[in-house]
Structure 1
Amino acid sequence: MLHDLVEQYGPALVFVNVLAASIGLPVPAMPSLVLFGAMAAMHPGSVGTQLAPVLILSIFATLIGDSVWYLAGRMYGGNTLKTICRLSLSRDTCVKKTERFFGRWGVRVLAVAKFVPGLSIVSIPMAGAMGTRYRTFLTYDSIGAALWSGTGLIIGALFAKQIDMLFAMAGRLGRTAALVVVALLLLYAAYRWIRRRQLISKLASARIEVDELAKLVAAGKTPVMFDIRSNEKRKLDPFVIPGSQFADERQLDEIVATYPRDQKLVIYCSCPNEISAAWMAKQLNEAGFSDVLPLRGGMEAWRDSGKPVEALPDTPPPEMTVDDIAPKAV
């Protein structure tokens, strides 16, 4: 029955599955490619003849879904990344690492992004937001889609016998197997969601409000303010709160060595729930600083309240066309 189903509807099912995953629906696409590769190896005379069309369909489905995110990044810029950060089950710090990875290697990262969890969903809209030409985007995204799709089909072909055994066991279990698979997927999603909520709860320390910070600045009691957004975020939003200093939450030694432990510090970022800022504040508290607060709402809340912002010097506009983003030196 499975053989007949794959032979008749396999290419269409793979196309729909890969397209849904590329658009961002929580459905894994790799299992369908692995399954088709296994069926092609076990039935070369029937399913095997559809291997090349399935590879092409998978590539096209990936490009269609990725193009939607690319265009969203191109049209809405950093707002697309904020939306992804809010919806993603990944830690906000992981999203920030992805931004830095893209900033280091440029659009070429799309060739391997599918193999790195979380990298693809951020790097694709970022390519659009950074002004990468669509032709350049398609070139590297096509390479990545071909490598990713081909890898799934090859894995399925190599482990065809083992996969066949698993399906034979599942066939004996009947509907129980399907229920187990669904239950495992739901448990995994719940686990990721719970981990994120635990992180938010753990870092739910005190915050300084925008108006409170503005009053300190107006009274001449400006605290030391650290902007810890990634360089890529600053390119998309080249403004800062006046008087801010750039800092990296991964490198706290200089801050620890420069400021007295009773210095008032305010940290802001552009991530939901101020996760990165709260994490850095926690690290500084553990280092002995007694008055460290994340700014509630970050840069967006400050600007949305009508407070003054300062343009970064020598920062090209984010809508500029970029043929290639060359990798930086290590």
Structure 2
Amino acid sequence: MKAGEDARGVRSEKPKKLGLCVLCGLPAAGKSTFARALSHRLRQERSWAVGVVAYDDVMPDAFQEEASARPLPSQWKSLRQELLKYLEYFFLAVINGCQMSAPPSRTEAMWEDFLTCLKDQDLISSSALEAQSHYLLTKTAVSRPLLLILDDNFYYQSMRYEVYQLARKYSLGFCQLFLECSLETCLQRNGQRPLPVPAETIHLMASKIEKPNPEKNAWEHNSLTIQSPASASEARLKLTDLLLTALENPVKYVEENVEQKETDRIICSTNILHQADQTLRRIVSQTMKEAKGEQGFPYNLKLLAEELNKLKAEFLEDLRQGNKKYLCFQQTMDLSDVISFFHYEKDNIVQKYFSKQH
């Protein structure tokens, strides 16, 4: 580890003011126009380095050629997470004062659009190093307070929380701007666009949108709702105060308590083991009662009891050690799964001794 870096490889000798601002709202609420104006003002009045990352501009072109080609929700989620990874690589370069490297796994069209976005806003420069997938940061990016504005609908709280997690991971400033606009106005503006979003999509989004809720969620306390179009003077003062507060008070990085997580896992594992032991004992006992009612040979009953008790012991050892002899398809330690698998194996054993009766 280099001098002046913490466990995450982040330099700590001279903290730089870095922030993420989530700009959310319905399609055609005026977010992109607002973001461009805000970016220009912050550069002129504050001399900040500002980048607007519009998700619609960075997503792969193949999905934007026609409405029928739009990806499934699962694909959108994957693309959003990939874009967050790009943002993480950029912030790592800024924090460490080094070149930005390309993620080993990436969608080429999307990565190229992301690079173009940063170049156009004077955050990375073109260089011969691009052939080696390394990109030089500009002097603007490394020498000034830096704010990235993420422009998207972000209509679910979970979408915004993913951005907050990135801010927390690298102790970045974080804030949210919700651009409030009536559904009727959004539909009217959308209809005038060259490539309008389907009206039913906007209606659906309006019914599902989860506005920032600072009273309910502590992580959303740096949030501001702005009416579209915004009233210049009052909105400007509140907005400047919000952004300054975010940059001056970055989200604190919380080190995961690995030891506590392991303790919790052991306790959970022990509890399931105890429950499984009690339940499997009852199943074996009940099976032996039923077997005696079948009036089988005493020697067979003895062998059956031995096999069932051996099966019980092996299942418990499987749970304890993770040998996966019987529970090979089990992804999580769920008691109902253990019982189901045990019943299956138990029935196979019983069938051997009482096949004529069944």
Query: TM above 0.5, one fold?
Result: no
TM-score by length of 1: 0.25
Larger fraction in strand: 2
TM-score by length of 2: 0.23
* Rg (Cα) greater in structure: 2
Larger fraction in helix: 1
